[in-house]
Every structure is written in structure tokens, then in C-alpha cells.
Amino acid sequence: MLKKYRPVIGLEVHVELGTRTKMFCSCSANHFLAEPNTNVCPICMGLPGAMPYANKKGIMATIKAGLAFGCEINSFSKFDRKHYYYPDLPKGYQISQYELPICKNGYFDLKESDSKSKKIRIRRIHLEEDTGKLVHRTLEGRKVSLIDYNRSGVPLLEMVTEPDFESANEVDLFLREVQLAVRYLDISGANMEQGSMRLEANVSLCKEEDVFDLKKGIYPDYKVELKNINSFRFLKKALEFEFERQAEILSRNEKVVQETRGFDEVKAVTFSQRVKEEAQDYRYFPEPDIPLLTITVDIVEQVQKSLPELPSQRRERLMKDYFLSSNYTELLVSDLKRAEYFEQAVILAKEKDIEINKVVGAMINQNLDIKFSEPAGLIKYLLEIKNKAFVSADEVVASIDVVIHENQQAVLDYQSGKEQILGFLIGQVQRKLKGKGEASLVSEKIKEKLKS
């Protein structure tokens, strides 16, 4: 049924910025695991007469993200009040940005394979304050909702894309790139499990014959919002379910209701939450207590110069400079600390005339960067192996086979529970190898053989 239709997907990505204080007051922004309602003040609680003031570091971090995603930076930007009622919003409005966001008209080249890429347009990246958090509990047999305002006022970056995605796989790939990018930029940990990165998707379907309209900016006359998804895997499942649900409705010549839906993680289905609001429903108007932001060319140039190497740039460089495979490169780049560890190890390896493939093999295949917390430790280990000229794994296995054949009783004793026999067998293998067997490899391989 879905073959008749093509998905049209736009994303809204929320990322909590890693500032020390909140966006419009001096309260600590570190709300994770803090005692409920301890990091609050009259400003973030919305008490009458409390005057907000903008956090410069939050603004600079947003500019940084905008430049990393190819955005134009507005010379003038302002904050607006977004009105709606919900218990986790103490003021009755959220300080956000509507007409003049900090960043607009960006793009990201989504590389789907070595030979295929797709340009994803970024409509805007703006800055707002986060809401409080509802905690649902059962107290004395009654279901209640408790409110923790520690998160209220934490700076929140929101990235809004154009509806350029056509599959759940594209969405998944893009979101992982966004998470990686903000970590490289050092503006957020973007930890899904802590709620510092949250996902929303707007989903529609169009008929295959109407695809040409998408290129002209003509989209379906409805969209369904999937809101507050907290993992890439769950968003992928929610999208796949929603494709099928909407396709079934459209195949009956019925109209899909424009609404906001949640995702039931246990049943793997979406469910209706409320009719989707339009912009006018929020009654936006300029925030009167915060002046217009002026972002000069000098500020933009200063931030541009501070940009680190981004994931896509590091991928390209590692493959070019070190002739790494795409798989090895991805495993390194996907973990910033591991990538930096590798490059430090390579510098030391060159000094000791150790091949780069030995370094990356030790890290990726044996996870020795976990065993050796410092690159110097790994290089020292690799140098010892080089100097001792340890025999290959195949030679180790061959010697183990001989020792097992020659010591059948010892093998039976070990398999019956006498684990101290293992040391004797390892010693026999090392004797065969004249001490040139790498200790951990000999131990690992002989245990595998004795289990089989």
C-alpha cells in the first residue's frame, strides 16, 4: 500500500545548550538528577516583576551551530512570547523566537553512501527557554502529576528543517549527524537518555505522481506532528508506523486529521494527543523585557574562527591522510574522544616507527584504547610487541592444538573444574612458541579451544 505514496518529513530538533546558567536568569542549568525545584528563582518561575536578561553564551552557542550548518546569521534578532497553557510553563508563555531567529537558510549535505548525498535545507535555528518537567507518579493509590521547574528556563536550541526527508533511514542518519556535530562544537552533550536532545517530526504522504510538486515547494495539505520522541530508534519506529497508518487512510479516500501524536514505546504505535496548533494559536508578540539583539560582522567572524573541525571534515581527512577504510573511519569519528585518542596515538606511533594500521587495529579490533587510558600506554604496548616479534595468531592456535593433543589428562582435569591447570597449559604453549606468544592472546585462544 505504501508503494503508492512517498513520505514528506520535516524535523524539529531540540538541543539543550551546555551553559552553566539558565537562559534568562542566573540559576544553575544543571537540572539532571538535581533535587526537584531547587534550581529556581522568581525569573524562571515567572513571578510578577521579575525581569529576564539574555545569556550571552547561549546566543554565541546558537551562532556557532548556525555557522556549522551553513546558516545566514541575522544582523538583528529578537525574542518573542509564545503563549499557551500547560502546567510545566509557569509564566503562561515561553520566551522563544518567531519572526527574527538568530540563524536562517542553512543546509546540510547528508551523505547516504560513498557515492550518494542529499542536500537537507535548514529553515531556521533559533533560541528559546526550556519548560519544566512533569513527573507522573502514583501516591496513596492515586495517579498524580508532579512538576519540577529545575529545567524551566534552561537554554534550548531548536533546529527546524524543510520537509526534505523521504524515509525513516534518512531521518535517522541526519539526526545522528546533528548529535555528533553539537558534541564536536562542544555546545551540548546531546544525551537522549538525559533529555538534552529531543525529537519531533512532521509527517505527510503524497502520491508518487505528485512528487514533482515537492520540487516547486508544493506540499500535502496536512501534516501530523510526532512529538517528544526520546530516541532515534523510537522515532524510526514511529515514522514507519505513521507511514502505514496514513497510507491506509488515504487509500480509503479519507482525509488524514492534522494533529499531534505521541508514540507508545511498548505497543510501537502512535496515538492522538491533540489537534495541531497553528502559529496564530500561540499569539506571538515581541518580548518587551529583552532588547533587540545586534549581531555584528565582527561577532560572526570571531565565532567562525573558533569553529572546530566538524565530523564530515574529520572523516574526509582521516581517510585521506591515513588511508583508513570507511568503516574504521566511522567508528573513530562517531566518538570524539576516541578520534582524538587515535590522532594522539598516531603522532607517538610515528616517533616509534609503528605502522598506523597497527594502531587502528589495536583500537578497533581489540578495544585496547579502553585498556590503556592514555595513548602513550597503547604505543608502549605495541612497541613491546614489535620488539619481541610475537608470533601470529595462527601460530598460537597451531601450538595450542599440539599442546591439547599431548596433554589430554590435563585438559580433562581443567574441564572438570580444576582451573589451576590452565596455567600449566599456557606454559606448555609458551614453551612451544619459545616465549614469543603474546600472553593475552594465548590465554584467550586456549580458553576458546578448551570450551569447544
Tell me the DSSP string of 303-363: HHHH----HHHHHHHHHHHH---HHHHHHHHTSHHHHHHHHHHHHHHHHTT--HHHHHHHH
Considering 358, 388, 418, which residue would you say is the last residue of a domain?
A: 388
- The last residue of one of the domains, among 282, 305, 328, is 305
Give the angle subtended at the CA of 408 by the CAs of 411 and 428, to the nearest 5°. Answer: 70
Q: Are 39 and 30 in contact (CB under 8 A)?
A: yes
- CA distances, 132 to each of 18, 89, 148, 160, 260 (Å): 17, 6, 6, 22, 20
Of 338, 13, 10, the C-alpha closest to 179 is 13
Concatenating the DSSP letter of every residue in 231-284 gives -HHHHHHHHHHHHHHHHHHHHTT-PPP-EEEEEETTTTEEEEEEEPPPGGGG--
Q: Are residues 231 and 322 in the same domain?
A: no
Sequence-distant (≥ 6) Cβ neighbours of residue 303 within 8 angstroms: 60, 63, 64, 67
Q: Is the pTM of this model over 0.85?
A: no
> Nearest-CA neighbor of 96 among 74, 124, 126?
126
CB 90 within 8 A of CB 129: no
**282 and 341 fall within a common domain:** no
- Is 213 found in the same domain as 197? yes
Count structural domains, the chain: 3
Sign of dihedral through CA atoms 304, 305, 306, 311?
positive
**136/268 same-domain check:** yes
| Range of the structural domain that residue 356 is part of | 309-388
- Based on the fold, state whether residues 254 and 364 are members of the same structural domain: no
Pick the closest to residue 318 from 346, 294, 290 (CA basis).
346
pLDDT in tens, the chain (452 residues): 567 899 999 999 999 999 999 999 999 999 998 999 999 999 999 899 999 999 999 999 999 999 999 999 999 999 999 999 899 999 999 999 999 999 999 999 998 877 788 999 999 999 999 999 999 899 888 999 999 999 999 999 999 999 999 999 999 999 999 999 999 999 999 999 999 999 999 999 988 777 656 666 778 889 999 998 989 999 999 999 999 999 999 999 999 999 999 999 999 999 998 876 676 788 999 999 999 999 999 999 999 999 999 999 999 999 999 999 999 999 999 999 999 999 999 999 999 999 999 999 999 988 999 999 999 999 998 988 787 767 778 888 999 999 999 999 999 888 888 888 888 999 899 888 887 787 788 888 999 888 87
Q: Are residues 375 and 402 in the same domain?
A: no
